[in-house]
A and B are shown apart, each in its own frame.
Chain A
Amino acid sequence: MECIITIELGTNAVRVFAFDLKSNIIGSMKGSYPTFHTEPDYSEQDPEQIFITMLYVLKNFLTEKIHSKKYKVRSICFSASMHSVLAIDKKGVPLGNAITWADNRGKKEAQELKKHPLGKILYTATGTPIHPMSPLVRIAWIKDHDAQKFKASDKFVAIKTYIIQQLTGEYVLDYSLASATGLMNIHNLKWENDALYFAGITAGRLPDLVPVFYSAGKLRKEYQTSLGLSASTKIITGSSDGCLATLGAGVWGKGKAVITIEDSGAVRVAGKQVLQDEKQRFFNYLLTEKFYVSGGPTNNGGIIFDWFTKQFGDFKNRFDIEFCMEDLIHEASKIHAGSDGLLFLPYLLGERAPIWNANARGVYFGVNIKHERSHFIRATIEGILYEIYSIGKTLQEHRTINSLSINGSFASIPFCSQMIADIFNKPVNLRKNSDSIGLGAFLLCATDMGIYKTLEEAAQTVTLPDSYKPQKADHEMYMKYFPVFEKLSTKLSDEFGEIAGLQK
């Protein structure tokens, strides 16, 4: 029997999935790697450890779940977190660690560029919001602050580029991941000259741009041997986590949106047109040459409820956060929608869409003497989801959304899924125990193999039942409070700036 393997190079871990050709999951395995914060704004990962972890997990997975069951691997498809930057020298050896999406070292550069007219030109051309997350800003930062490294580096690549190069010898980057670098023109699919100029590099210092279906050469002999794979196993470049999660949720074309909430979160729509937003609030990334995934990201997803649990949860066993969270959610479920007037702004980590204010901070608002601990629990969850709704609401200024697909560990908690349906007043569907990114990568491979004629056809095979229906009374209650939430989020802008200044 034949199978397809997908490899997701995620924020904290690599996840490997195997699918049979009918899209059933054969098995999965994960392996985590650390993120280093050597300075307050820094967030780095070791490319060698990511490679070794990937190799280790893949090898164990193949041995335990694939070879032992006589599956033949047809192709391997990659997905990766967006925005990573790794400098490598002439020999292809990494110059230190890779910079991840969460790194904020370029915040000053990003702020200046955003105010400059060039900022808007670059946003329109590249689809990537001007933000420290963008590799455009990072490379410029290295040029200005680490001249030695800038000079020593032959290329600036994505982590995925490096991993695929280690396996096959080719330096490639798919249009999809490239469209999140802030360096590629999403309209003509070439490295954008103005962006290259700002970063201080030529196109020769970036990987070659290829379609998401591109097959990046053969697996090196040594890895064929150690992994037990044949030379005919196709290595497919694939796309980014965000774009594949959208495809894997079956969101293609009108009326649908996908909400992903892990530690951070995003609300996305997909279509053939770029979403033009005057206020530059949304990203426009490419899934394929003609298809855009647009939306807004939030910093403050499940990580905020993690924070709350760690501070205020009742730990019965050391480190048993799962149990503790279940307890809190049980408590929250006893409080009415709207938390009897207690509001929470979840901006502990500053915020991206839709307010794009790095200085924003958390606020509990409207506390009165009758509020109890359980109100705070519920208000915290409601605040995280009001923020998601505020992205969705802004998106609806441009697109009609009739139904929502959700994924990610936080959004899939039944209590949260129902609350999303209620706040949005739209039916919500999700696939239980599934990974949308892996499924998206599978659909890509399957289309490449001719199982589906187009990605659109592939996306349409993803049908999810409406798992949660909106409850009218709760929706109405949430809509009484949401305007206050929305007003506070912008009204406090000055005070956010002041307090953030004092917290430095």
Chain B
Amino acid sequence: MNQFFLQQGRSGELQLFPHIVEFALKKNYSIQLNSLPPAATESIRIYCITEGKFEWAIQDRHFTLYPGDITMILPGQKFGGSRGFLDIGTLSWIHLQVEKFDPLSKTLLFGKWSSLSKTESFTIAKILMMDHAPFLLRLSEAENILLDIKHEILNQEIGYATRANHLIDELFILLTRQLTRQNNPGRDFPQTFMKLEQTLRKNLNHQWTVEEMAALVGLGTTAFNERVKKYTGFSPLNYLINIRISEAIKMLKRENCNVTEIALETGFYSSQHFSTTFKKLTGYTPSEFRKKNILND
């Protein structure tokens, strides 16, 4: 394993990869004061430990990293050595520039280089940004992926640009999967479902797909469908309609906004879609329902 250091603007190898800001493997033999002061940047930074023990402060929280550990620092998060320097050992890292990052709306767009679909990157972003807290993962595959990326970029064989970008996607996919597994040991479905429910409620106007919901609890769609059906009696999408109509009812009874606003707020495609679904279930159109509840006065 040889050391390397590639930097955007300086290293010609990165010409086809404008999104890679920095990519390196370093064997650090000595401590140099102030070699890693805490700082925030605009890129996503992923670090992977091969040898040694690293004392780091991420968002002012102290972490100790050992070989096999990986951490990801989001844009705007503060990261540095706990004592301001890089500890002795071997590590690799990649810094990536993303197209859009908004911690408030939890949006993260990787950019054109990524082949992740819109839904996939939405879900990955949701999971990576779920608790805002920095995290540490045990993920030994990460080191090999980084080495493969290096191999592609330096050897420049046919298709290397595509392959390297695919590998970066893969890294994000594995990180996300590992994060859901690590956050949720997969023992308590009721509790996990409750958390998912809260996320759905907070983002009721998002057009949720089953794939997205399944990913949030770390299951494949088939297993997820079965679990939800068994636990709630409904398919995931029908359960979601339940929440949507229940929330809509509360708004119809309490708030002055118009029916279209309520429809969109609660995640229906249109006021028409809302009215049809609502009437099918309750026998009332939303306006009739509202009138009835005001007339009860």
Contacts and interface: CB of A to CB of B under 8 A. Distances in A.
A305 to B, nearest CB: 13
A32 B293 contact: no
B282 A53 contact: no
Interface in A1-58: 13, 29-34, 46, 48-49, 51-53, 55-57
Interface of B: 185-189, 192, 194, 197, 218-219, 223, 227, 231-234, 238, 241-243, 245-247, 249-250, 253-254, 279-284, 288, 293-294, 296-297
Contact of B282 (A223, A309, A315): A223
B188 A52 contact: no
Given A48-B246, A223-B283, A315 B233 contact: no
Q: A59, A93, A318: which has the most chain B beta carbons within 10 Å? A: A318
Interface in A318-345: 318-319, 321
Nearest to B187: A310
Nearest to A31: B233
User: Interface extent on A, as a size class?
Assistant: 35 or more
A91 B293 contact: yes
A59 B246 CA distance: 16
Interface in A200-239: 220-227
B253 A93 contact: yes
Given A92-B296, A319-B219, 4 more contacts: A52-B281, A55-B282, A227-B283, A315-B187
A326 to B, nearest CB: 15
Contacts of B188: 310, 319
Contact of B284 (A222, A313, A319): A222
22 contacts: A31-B232, A31-B234, A34-B197, A48-B250, A49-B243, A52-B246, A56-B238, A56-B281, A93-B293, A225-B283, A226-B279, A226-B283, A311-B187, A313-B187, A315-B186, A315-B187, A317-B223, A319-B188, A319-B189, A319-B223, A321-B187, A321-B189
Interface of A: 13, 29-34, 46, 48-49, 51-53, 55-57, 59, 90-93, 220-227, 309-311, 313, 315, 317-319, 321
Nearest to B231: A32
Given A221-B283, A223-B282, A321-B187, A91 B294 contact: yes
B242 A29 contact: no
A49 B204 CA distance: 15
A220 to B, nearest CB: 8
Contacts of A59: 281
A192 B121 CA distance: 60
Given A32-B231, A93-B254, A318-B218, A53 B189 contact: no
B250 A56 contact: no
B181 to A, nearest CB: 8
A222 B282 contact: yes
A56 B241 CA distance: 10
A171 to B, nearest CB: 12
A95 to B, nearest CB: 10
B273 to A, nearest CB: 17
Nearest to B201: A34
Contact of A52 (B186, B192, B249, B279): B249
Contacts of B247: 48
